[in-house]
Amino acid sequence: MATILIVDDRPTNRQFLLTLLGYGGHRLLEAANGAEALERVRAERPDLVITDILMPTMDGYEFVAHLRADPDLAPMPVIFYTATYSEPQAKALADSCGVRIVLPKPCDPERILAAVNEALGITDSAPAPSAGAARNEDKAGEPHKVDDQLAEYVNELQSVKSKFDDIVEGSVKLRTKRAQVRQLSEQFSENVMSLQRIASRLSAIIEVGMEMRNPARLVELFFAAACDIIDSKYAAIGMLDEQEQALRFIFAKGVDVQIYRDADGGRAGILGVLLQGHRPLRSRTDAGPDGLPTGHPRVRNFLGVPVASKERVYGWLFFAEKRGEGEFSEEDERLAGMMAAKLAVLYENAVLYDVIQRHATQLQIEIAERRRAEQAVRESEAKFRELIEQASDGIFVTDAQGNFKLVNPRFCEMLGYSEEALLRLSAADTYAAEEKALFAQRIADLGEIKTRLFERMMRRKDGTLFPVEMSVRRLSSGMNQGIVRDITERRKAQQALAESQAALHRAQLLAKLGHILTQPDGSFERWSDTLPQLIGVEPDRMPRSTREWLDLLHPEDRARFRSTAIEAGRKGQREEVEYRLKRADGAWIHVRQVIEPLQSQAGAEGGKRWFSTLQDVTEQKQAQEALAESEFRFRQLTENITEAFWLTDPFKSEMLYISAAYEKIWGRSCQALYASPRDWVEAIHPEDRQRVLDAAIAKQARGDYDEEYRIVRPDGSMRWIRDRAFPVSDSEGRVYRIAGVAEDITERKRAADKIRRLNRVYAVLSGIPTLIVRARDRDELFRESCTIAVEAGQFPMAWIGLVDRETTRVKPVAWGGGAEQFLASAPLSMGANRAAGRGMSGTAISEKKAMIANDIQSDSRTQMKEQCRERGINSLAFLPLIVENEGIGVLALYASEIGFFDEEEMKLLLELAGDISFALDHIEKEEKLNYLAYYDSLTGLANRDLLHERLTQSVRAASRDERKLAVIVLDIERFKAINDSFGRQAGDELLKQFAAGLGRVSGDPTRLARVGGDHFVVVLRGLKVEEEVARFYEQRLREYFAQPFRIANHDLRISAKAGIAIYPNDGSDADALLRNAEAALKKTKASGERYLFYTQQMTERIA
């Protein structure tokens, strides 16, 4: 066959095609993107490529472009398989790159196979194998080959029969042995007829199996047919699961199926030997073959075959203790092998159909996801468009040559163009004439740099230039995207800031300590040459006296300056003063001035001279103010944040600081913690304490301490804490402080627990709809619901019970999590008297409302507290199952957590119970419809369809056992008159009493049927002579008709006419027997006799 490469970024899509095409015998390769596929194509040279279009790294379109560009690979056929594009769009894209076939996702498997055959040039017809080749073919081949073998075997036997007839008719020498040869010929004829019946039955089962989609039902039907064909006392079949680890289906005849499950999952002993190879096993021994499961009865002979195809073993089939005196023959072995081979092919098809169905479902989910993604993209594009329209910066997109493809209103406003006009221009048109050479260079640079950020002058429509900051990047599509910001005002601000910084820088460089020598009259005798620089004046503009200097001081500081100067003069000693001084440039500086008296000759008026040292302390003052502001803000922050900020020494011997939030979180005072730092550790929950201490010792000094733990408050309540810490080091790198932040995360933890609980409930709720679709009977629905609750919902225990109206108790019918022993002693009464044992489950059903106990140990309504405590169960919920407004059962769920079933969980769980109730109602109605299809709704007897099936089986049994069979059709006389006289209701009551009486007379209701208004059929099986029919009518039916019927308060005596047909004299099948019995009834009614046989001779003989 062909080599096919499958390219898709989704593994589920690849797996679907691998599974589908794998049965065609193709050699299959796979790749996750175009780049990987290109490497595999060059290495493997496949015959066909099936590829998705939209993929990461390299998409399907680019991948095909690379194929077509390579002369060696260009002719390779390609099929596009996509869900991203509509089929017309994908077809147009395919035509542009030379792809002839396009398949949409999802796609019917038949269409995919047809497309693959078309691309590979494979026709549907194939030459039939020769007869010789067919005989040498393996028994696990295609279904039609097994039919051919059966047909060939029948033909061979017919040929032998013909030869024997020729011998009988043509040989004069053997006339004396004519009778013996004739008997041998007749025996062969019987064998031919027997094999024809076997072939007919097997073909019918095969036809049903070809349409069967349920693997379990397929195996069950095939096993029943095999048991009919090969008659043995014991038989069993076991089919493996998909992983071939355990038995998935087991059916048995004469032995309990459980012994095969106990035998190492049906893989031990002789059954394991059958699973290891394709060889049948046939033995004859009084002890039975070695290795049969423990508990299996002793057998005299055994025949076992593997159920296998060429590639895989699916299970085993065996027969033991053949009926009669003989043993299993080679023909039995050959027939069993053919049936096993047929089953292997049909079972493989059923499993494949199941896999494809699951893949189809997954594809539908992916399509929905893609549609949601497309909607999200459209919404994102709308938001992106709105963002562009309202952006304060200019935004544009150009092609690779720089031509504008998209511009926003702000960009048009900047340049003075309309949007229409600007879209006709290129980015080169916005450059100044002398800078246009830069445009080509910057476009070329984007191919390597991808993103550029630069400033340039941009030209408006009127020719004026203005400065802009531009960010331009190359998109993956080859387009260029740019963001433009007008920085005219920023340039001005930057220039002003630069000038201010230069002035400040010069002041810092030139500012030095200055001094003044002051005369007693306050005039300045001299000053240092740095003093004018201090106040920012030229030397010739320097103040000349204390009075002029005072004018430079801040008005608020002048009084303090005067008082300090006066105090210095009065005391004649050194004084200091700080004040604010306004420089010539208008800036205020902080000045510290030290005034000292000079020990020198007094002035003209007898006063002192003073030497003053001045220093600009503006920076120091600002640093002090900043520090005070920082300390204030830190205090405000630590006092008002919800987290507790703490500071300790590395050895935890002293608590240096703790913020006020500690008191709110811990419920303890900060003062108590300062007094006893150990209180921090003592408050930690005992289960977490040692872990936290170990982490603090190992991690706090490293800076990676981040722990979550519980604390216990003085009132006994518990809080969750997240505690983080980092070291504080000195200049030499030694850790001398540990600082940390402790946060109360209790609510966050509760929210996380809440989400986990809801996710568990959602897991159960999401699993039930799939179960509802899959479940075919009530037991499966209940059993799987409990399994989902325990496994997906992580409930430790779950069970479902139904009301038993006779015992007025809730009867558990399904459970999970080991609830069987627990339920043995549970109070499950429905009685209203609590003392009688009625529990919460009965109350939930009676009152049709959920019953919840969120703390079993403290809830007075709950029982079995000790059993729940042993199992770690603390919460429970009983959810009523309601069908047609009647409580018919209960779903019980048990949880480990206290308080698990809150309002949100219960809302979802009640929805779950409603889903199960709906499914139960649906199953019951479906069962009722199935009943009405085969039974008469008034009498409960079989209708004509079911009678036909049963009569057909009875005919086969009579033929096999060489017995006779009678069909009696009864017609109640004067029934119309009774109906008219007493009413239809009385007539219906007569029919029901008549049917019930017939059941008692016949002893087996399966022998009876109602085939018309007042027509009933009785089938007598296992007859040796026809006289038994007459005795049955004369002795039992006449005695029954002699009894009165109580109808509408009247005693009525009735009689019935009968028509009888006998197998095989009056018909060889069900249709003929029933038709002839009805014909005999017509003759009976016309003749006045009580009953007549179909054949006149039989009537006369019986008479």
Amino acid at residue number 573: Q
1102 band by pLDDT with thresholds 50, 70 and 90? low
Q: Confirm whether 212-374 and 751-931 share one CATH topology.
A: yes
Per mean pLDDT, which of 252-261, 355-364, 901-910 is the most reliable?
252-261
pLDDT above 50 (res 133): no
The CATH classification of domain 641-744, taken from the options 3.30.70.20, 3.40.980.10, 3.40.718.10, 3.30.450.20: 3.30.450.20
Strand partners, 317: 237, 305
Cα first-last separation, the chain: 76
CATH topology of domain 751-931: Beta-Lactamase (3.30.450)
Are the C-beta atoms of 919 and 930 separated by less than 8 Å?
A: no
Tell me if the domain spanning 3-120 has CATH number 3.40.50.2300. Answer: yes
Q: What does the radius of gyration of the chain's CA atoms come to, in whole angstroms? A: 51
Q: What pLDDT digit, counting tens, does each position of 246-279 carry?
A: 888 899 999 888 888 776 656 778 888 888 766 8
DSSP letter for each residue of 277-321: SS--EEEE-TT--TTPPTTPPP-SEEEEEEEE-SS-EEEEEEEEE
Q: Where are the alpha helices (DSSP H) in 125-233?
A: 131-136, 143-170, 178-211, 215-229
45 Cβ partners below 8 Å, 6+ apart?
Answer: 3
Sign, Cα dihedral of 892, 896, 902, 907? negative
pLDDT, position 251: 93
3-state helix, strand, coil in the chain (%, to 5): 50, 25, 25
Q: What pLDDT digit, counting tens, does each position of 1078-1088 carry?
A: 999 999 988 88
Q: What pLDDT digit, counting tens, does each position of 210-248 carry?
A: 556 688 888 888 898 889 888 899 999 998 887 777 888
pLDDT, position 685: 92
* Architecture of the structural domain at 212-374: 2-Layer Sandwich (3.30)
Superfamily of domain 510-619: PAS domain (3.30.450.20)
Q: How far apart are the C-alpha atoms of 136 and 148, rounded to whole Å? A: 12
pLDDT, position 830: 58
Of the chain, the percentage scoring pLDDT greater than 70 comes to 84
**Max Cα separation, the chain?**
186
Closest CA to 828 of 816, 818, 838: 838
Q: Which residue has the tokens 């015998």?
A: 25
CATH topology of domain 391-486: Beta-Lactamase (3.30.450)
Q: What pLDDT digit, counting tens, does each position of 1005-1060 carry?
A: 888 999 888 899 999 988 888 888 888 888 788 888 888 888 878 888 888 899 99
Are the C-beta atoms of 407 and 423 separated by less than 8 Å?
A: yes
Top pLDDT among 967 and 837 is at: 967
Tokens, residue 1065: 């004299």
Length of the chain: 1103
Q: What pLDDT digit, counting tens, does each position of 731-790 carry?
A: 788 888 898 889 888 888 777 777 776 676 766 767 677 666 666 677 777 778 788 778
Tokens, residue 458: 């941009």
pLDDT above 60 (res 164): no
Q: What pLDDT digit, counting tens, does each position of 506-539 carry?
A: 554 455 588 898 998 889 988 888 889 888 899 8
Top pLDDT among 1065 and 765 is at: 1065
pLDDT above 70 (res 1089): yes
Tell me if the domain spanning 935-1102 has CATH number 3.30.70.270. Answer: yes
Q: What pLDDT digit, counting tens, does each position of 683-716 carry?
A: 999 999 999 999 988 888 888 899 999 999 999 8
Tokens, residue 140: 């696990």
* Element of type H or E holding 42: helix 34-44
Q: How far apart are the C-alpha atoms of 942 and 1016, rounded to whole Å? A: 10
Is pTM beyond 0.75? Reply is no
Strands of 27-31's sheet, edge to edge?
Answer: 27-31, 3-7, 48-51, 78-82, 101-104
String of b and e for 952-991 (b: at least 16 CB within 10 Å)?
eebbeebeeeeebbbbbbbbbbebeebbeebeeebbebbb
Q: What pLDDT digit, counting tens, does each position of 957-992 carry?
A: 999 988 999 999 999 988 888 888 888 888 888 888
Average pLDDT, the chain: 81
* Element of type H or E holding 888: strand 886-895
* Element of type H or E holding 860: none
Query: How many other C-beta atoms can be found within 10 angstroms of the C-beta atom of residue 773?
Result: 8
Query: Domain coordinates of the chain in residue numbers?
Result: 3-120, 140-208, 212-374, 391-486, 510-619, 641-744, 751-931, 935-1102
Q: How far apart are the C-alpha atoms of 64 and 76, rounded to whole Å? A: 10
